[in-house]
Amino acid sequence: MQQDEILRLCRAFQQEGLHYVLIGATAMAFHGVVRATEDVDLFIRADAENVERLRRALRSVYDDPEIEKIETEDLLGDYPAVRYYPPTGDLYLDIMTRLGEAASFDTVEGEAKEVDGIEVRVATPLALYRLKRDTVRALDRSDAAMLRERFDLDEEP
């Protein structure tokens, strides 16, 4: 999934009124901190209508019956994350409504970036830093260090 496909998705998200925020390496790239990634991570607001907006947006980009397997009950349940593999096969989407008690759409500060006339909702550098700094993955801690240095972020919570 290249930037043009990500932008097509974000255009579809905008057209459907999806409440979302990109997190992870894809969001970092929109802030100018680029590293290779195999996925697009995003939080969506946890309500049934928003999950339907997500499915409609995905259907407008991909002709894929697998989209119907993204169920509201999954995203609103005890393990509120699904992985969707678009038929393009380049990258996959990790779609979440929350990460345990640590973070959710409602707790991650986001901002709009305009790219080619498309509004893309991304987590702020500080929000990304907070999501990544205390994880067990070395890659996340490295991302946090890059964000801290690039944006002169404070160590305080």
pLDDT at residue 32, rounded to an integer: 94
Element holding 8 (H helix, E strand): helix 3-16
Average pLDDT over residues 68-78: 93
pLDDT at residue 110, rounded to an integer: 97
pLDDT at residue 156, rounded to an integer: 62
Whole-angstrom distance, CA of residue 34 vs CA of residue 30: 8
Q: Check pLDDT > 60 for residue 157.
A: no
- Write the single-letter amino acid at 135: T
Domains along the chain with CATH numbers = 3-147 (3.30.460.40)
- Label residue 109 by pLDDT band (50, 70, 90): very high
pLDDT at residue 87, rounded to an integer: 93
What are the tens digits of pLDDT across the range 19-68?
999 999 999 999 999 888 889 999 999 999 999 999 999 999 999 999 99
Of the candidates 54, 44, 61, 87, which has an alpha carbon nearest to the alpha carbon of residue 9?
Answer: 61
- Write the single-letter amino acid at 34: V
Of the candidates 130, 148, 134, which has an alpha carbon nearest to the alpha carbon of residue 33?
Answer: 148
Residues 129 and 148: beta-carbon distance below 8 Å: yes
Q: Which two tokens mark 100? A: 């345990």
Of the candidates 58, 6, 54, which has an alpha carbon nearest to the alpha carbon of residue 30?
Answer: 6
Whole-angstrom distance, CA of residue 66 vs CA of residue 54: 13
- Label residue 71 by pLDDT band (50, 70, 90): very high
Q: At 122, give phi and psi (nearest 5°).
A: -130, 150
Q: Which two tokens mark 93? A: 């989407």
Mean pLDDT of the chain: 93
pLDDT at residue 155, rounded to an integer: 65
Average pLDDT over residues 73-84: 93
- Write the single-letter amino acid at 52: E
Average pLDDT over residues 63-87: 94
